[in-house]
Structure 1
């Protein structure tokens, strides 16, 4: 089935060039060629087009206004804007544009738009899941279902996807996104940044076969959301492991949660808007870590407990109770040299940072190391 295309540009030479480029594509059927936007609007309302190419700088009606009217009456018609001005290209995405093309029109730019149209139309049955895996401990990253890492062209595309992901499919208003990603920036410039970032994010995802992922809602100031959850994501997996442990008290789930957390939730990103989610994940991690430590120490598995004890003090090196347990565990494992080395290390740390040594001495722990294992 051919793509039914309508074109409007109030300059005849521009129309002629567009038609010439489109004529090279057998899959295209040009159903309407107009210099008057009102005539194209009438034909669009009658259902003649699958795809419309709209010039933006027309004297009678601006292309953006024409696009809004077409979208209102025929929301399934895909819109491509043609413009000579870069600033209009960014504004195009307020009207859910499929693409924008800079003048002069080329075969490459038209081909890109047609390929994007075909890709969207191939989604005849909307997927209930995003065919991807989201990983959020350490770096926030996305992999396809085949394990291919999605490459983001810029950091804001990655951050925007993370923000939408954290909101679990709920709409996030444009104002909230701008405040999160471009706080303190000029409002008009921030709007341009948002539109270009959404466009770039969609391109990044589409290049890996992840189509129609970010949805825009123009009501009440506008918002964006993820249309479907990923096949799998580490955040949900971590929360499920913590919840299952609390219900079943099976230590295996606590261990798996600790292992998954590893580098920390969004550890490599200093995103202020993610602070609450990071704090919640860190709190759950410490609860699971404490559970594993208690299990290992209660069973006398001191060697098994040591890696977890070291994880605990990595996040809080001034926690005397856990520092003493590390020394006691080394002593109970008949490794006094390791115990002494660790005590010397934390003594220097406490003295340099706090001005005082630990409240316990190596000799005190050595007298009765079991005493320090009570949790």
Structure 2
């Protein structure tokens, strides 16, 4: 998933930049913040698992570069764009290795160029570019290389968690869903073995960060990968011509139709209905 943070203590400006970015690329999820503490907390929590940050350096929080100093302390490699009406900290921008510097009012062409540059810079430094495909078949690719799966149940467990869109799923629900015919003891045993194998598989591929959880539940870190399902649903939700066309291009077959997971039918039906809506609209 591509996502970008926008920070400005001017709410209208933060919203304006966020809307511009979403129009440039419907796949980008934008988080806008006017409170510096909230913005820094997000950066600290996500640990760089997003595309970068746009900073309005005219904000009071940026006096003496306080905000930037804390930001750099949290993440030295974070891709940054400076925005200013006055040209403030133009020289210091080199010190902080910002990917671009925009002056207000922002021109759409310049913002588009800056966002592309930011994403490209982030992609170069991100060793594991992960893309999960769900239309047609469930596949996981790292930097364009598809990961092979020897154990079909291990693959299904990851697919089920991706289908849950980052929500915490209880161990009990996973067991009942993936092993509906087994008794409770057998289902629990199968689950723990499969979860162990999945963690080993992801670890060998350098993807341990995709899975988060405890003894009682599991979830996927949706900020650690891009997924055609998530992109499709976001594009349909935006409901404009460009977004509908993007959703149409993403649809490479019915949702998980080649995997025959019984639990995927509900999502399949919903996606089919959304695809019909897309086809009527373009």
TM-score by length of 1: 0.40
**Structure 1 position 283 matched with structure 2 position 280:** no
Matched residues in 2 for 1:201 and 1:217: separation? 14
Q: Is the 8 A contact 1:215 1:225 kept in 2?
A: yes
How much does 1:291 deviate? 2.0
* Residue 162 of structure 2 is aligned to residue 176 of structure 1: no
Report the 3-state secondary structure (helix = DSSP H, G, I; strand = E; otherwise coil) of the residue aligned with 1:164. Answer: helix
Contact persistence 1:152–1:201 (CA under 8 A): no
Q: Tell me the distance in 1 between the aligned counterparts of 2:48 and 2:160.
A: 21
SS at match of 1:229: helix
State the secondary structure of the residue aligned to 2:208: coil
1:135 equivalent in alignment to 2:133: yes
Deviations 1:66-93 (A, max 9, x none): xxxxxxxxxxxxxxxxxxxxxxxxxxxx
Alignment of 1:338-357 (within 5 A): none
Q: Which runs of 5+ in 1 are unaligned?
A: 1-124, 293-375
2:190 aligns to what? 193
2:140 counterpart of 1:161: no
| Structure-2 change in CA distance of 1:256 and 1:215 (3 Å) | closer
Are the structure 2 counterparts of residues 127 and 227 from structure 1 closer, same or farther at C-alpha, using a change threshold of 3 Å?
Answer: farther
| Contact 1:238-1:260 within 8 A present in 2 as well | yes
Q: Secondary structure at the match of 2:234?
A: helix
How far does the alpha carbon of each residue in 1:254-286 deviate from its partner, in whole angstroms, 9 at most, with x for none?
Answer: 233223113111121222222221111110001
Aligned to 2:246: 256
What residue is the counterpart of 1:243 in the other structure?
A: 237
CA contact under 8 A between 2:161 and 2:220: conserved in structure 1? Answer: yes
Structure 2 gap segments, 5+ residues each: 1-45, 51-127
Equivalent residues in 2 for 1:188-337, closer than 5 Å: 188-218=185-215, 222-244=216-238, 246=239, 248=240, 250=241, 252-292=242-282
CA contact (8 A) 1:182 1:190 kept: yes
TM-fit CA distance, 1:168:
1.8
Higher relative contact order by CA 8 Å / sep ≥ 6: 1 or 2? 2
For 2:136, what is the secondary structure of its paired residue?
coil
Judged with a 3 Å threshold, the aligned counterparts in structure 2 of structure 1 residues 192 and 131 are, in CA distance, closer, same or farther, namely farther
Over residues 33-77 of structure 1, what are the superposed CA-to-partner deviations in whole Å (9 max), with x where a residue is unaligned? xxxxxxxxxxxxxxxxxxxxxxxxxxxxxxxxxxxxxxxxxxxxx
Q: How many Å separate the matches in 1 of 2:257 and 2:224?
A: 21
1:190, 1:139 → 2: CA distance?
25
The structural deviation recorded for 1:240 is 2.2
Which secondary structure state, in structure 1, belongs to the residue aligned with residue 145 of structure 2? coil
- Give the 3-state SS of the residue equivalent to 1:160 in structure 2: helix
C-alpha separation between the residues in 2 aligned to 1:141 and 1:240? 20
Residue 195 (structure 1) shift: 0.9
**Length-normalised TM-score, structure 2:** 0.52
CA distance in 2, matches of 1:231, 1:261: 18
User: For the structure 1 residues 213 and 135, does the alpha-carbon distance in structure 2 shift closer, same or farther, using more than 3 Å as the test?
Assistant: same
The 2-side partners of 1:184 and 1:234 are apart by 31
Distance (whole Å) between structure 1 residues aligned to residue 204 and residue 48 of structure 2 = 17
Aligned-residue Cα RMSD (Å) equals: 2.0
Q: Displacement of 1:131 after TM fit?
A: 4.4
Instruction: Choose 1 or 2 for highest CA Rg.
Output: 1
Change (3 A) 1:289 1:227: closer
Whole-angstrom distance in 2 between the partners of 1:234 and 1:262: 10
